[in-house]
Amino acid sequence: MDKLFNNHWFIKFISLMIAVMLYTMVNMENVNNQPGALPTVNETTHMIEDVEIEAYYDDEQYAIVEIAETVDITLTGPQSSITMFLVNPNYEVYVDLEDRGEGIHHVNIQHSGFPAELAVSIVPQNIQVELQERETVSLPVEVELQNTEGVEDGYTLGAPQVSPSEVEVTAPRAVLNQISAVRTFIDVAGTNERVETTGTVAVYDEFGNELNVEVNPETVDVEIPVTSPFVSVPVNLTREGSLEEGLTIVDLELEPTEVTIFGPQEVIDDIQVVEGVVLDLSAITESQTLELEVEPPPGVEEVRPNTVTVTIEVADEEEATIEDVPIEIEEGEDGDTIEITDPEEETTDVDVYGSENELEAIEEEDIRIIGEVEEGEDGEQTVPLEGEGPEEITVEPEVEEAEVEISEEEEEQDNNDEEENGNDNDDETEE
């Protein structure tokens, strides 16, 4: 049964049958009430309210800014004709403005599609219609960001860039005068990188109502720069290789000494210094200024600036000797006693290399000769010695190794206690 009612031919057949039945009933009533052999047809009326008006005009050049939206129609004629019409209504109510230009026009309302035996009365019979010429203006597009509170922590949105920055809006003057803003809306929730997207353009009046106008193009490309979390940290210069023989560094300056690193907060929080600047000393043959790249640490998205300037001054290397510099041995495990057995004087002469000015300014306390014993090793050890001094000075001890004796403090203390106990026993015996 449902399939029958869904079939439009079945519905039309049922409608026709009902119309025939109504027509027969009306005419049978007329036959019964009149003495003649032929029936008469009763006229009746039917009203159709709020019928929309169709307007025909040159919509490429003009736009309607004023027109009545609906009219009421009264049909008068035989009941059977009205009934048949209502079963399958197919009519039109319209105004013809095809030959009209800009301005206010009073025009009659026309109709088509009604049965010829029905009288058609339309209220109102004529209306006022205003046509305005369509105009095109270029207007800037504003970007309105939505859900900015949803941007990931630490990230900052920059100024949106729109392409094209203006769109053409076509509408009658009355509508153009209502335009307050041309906007596209971009959702930035969860953003943690540069946004590149497309937005649909809409036109609004001062009350925020969207206006029905023609926009070209209907969409624009939007780019929004996004700044990652950042922090400023010192930059460290790493030296590789060595100067050619006979040269020494007099002065070395790094500019800037700090850089700004950008990246996820959890990454940059763990970075205290940037080590990604490498100076190859083997390529330096004279005083000069170099521009070196800063290598971003792992996980860092960007370093600003990404280069630093290194000014290096070199001079002929001079040599001097500082005598009797004390040898220092780094302590081993707690409780160990360390004694230098060779050299016996526990000092060494030191050769220092640098520029003339650097060597003249150096003092004995600026130089250290250091050795470090191996932990967990008691007894005799041979300890390599290294020299430390001012940054631009090369320090070379003439004694390259020291012999040391390592003993546990606890054993020495036990031996001392035994010696003291032995002396006490001797005293008691003498008494």
Do residue 252 and residue 342 come from a single domain?
A: no
Spatial distance between the Cα atoms of 296 and 263, rounded to a whole number of angstroms: 10
pLDDT of residue 377: 72
Spatial distance between the Cα atoms of 155 and 245, rounded to a whole number of angstroms: 51
Do residue 110 and residue 33 come from a single domain?
A: yes
pLDDT of residue 250: 87
Q: Does 73 or 19 have the greater pLDDT score?
A: 73
Least trusted range by pLDDT, from 9-23, 153-167, 218-232, 277-291: 9-23
pLDDT in tens, 233-266: 999 999 899 888 889 888 899 999 999 999 888 8
pLDDT at 407 > cutoff 90: no
pLDDT at 427 > cutoff 90: no
Q: Give the residue carrying structure tokens 């932990």.
A: 375
Please state the pTM of the whole predicted model.
Answer: 0.50
pLDDT of residue 430: 46
Do residue 99 and residue 145 come from a single domain?
A: no
Dihedral sign of CA atoms 90, 93, 98, 99 in order: positive
Closest CA to 247 of 353, 173, 159, 174: 353
pLDDT at 26 > cutoff 80: no
pLDDT of residue 38: 42
**In this structure, is residue 378 part of a structural domain?**
yes
Query: Confidence class of residue 25 from pLDDT cuts 50, 70 and 90?
Result: low
Average pLDDT over residues 109-126: 93
**In this structure, is residue 148 part of a structural domain?**
yes
Q: Give the residue carrying structure tokens 């009421």.
A: 72
Do residue 20 and residue 103 come from a single domain?
A: yes
Do residue 303 and residue 267 come from a single domain?
A: yes
**In this structure, is residue 426 part of a structural domain?**
no
The CATH number of whichever domain residue 307 belongs to comes to: 2.170.120.40
Dihedral sign of CA atoms 191, 195, 198, 203 in order: positive
Residue that is last in its domain, among 199, 227, 255: 227
The CATH number of whichever domain residue 26 belongs to comes to: 2.170.120.30
Do residue 117 and residue 175 come from a single domain?
A: no
pLDDT of residue 12: 67
Do residue 27 and residue 117 come from a single domain?
A: yes
Average pLDDT over residues 133-146: 94
pLDDT at 33 > cutoff 90: no
Domain range enclosing 74: 2-131
**In this structure, is residue 417 part of a structural domain?**
no
Residue that is last in its domain, among 131, 159, 191: 131
Least trusted range by pLDDT, from 55-64, 171-180, 387-396, 404-413: 404-413
Q: Percentage of the chain with pLDDT > 70? A: 85
Number of domains into which the chain is organized: 4
Spatial distance between the Cα atoms of 394 and 183, rounded to a whole number of angstroms: 68
**In this structure, is residue 356 part of a structural domain?**
no
Residue that is last in its domain, among 198, 227, 256: 227
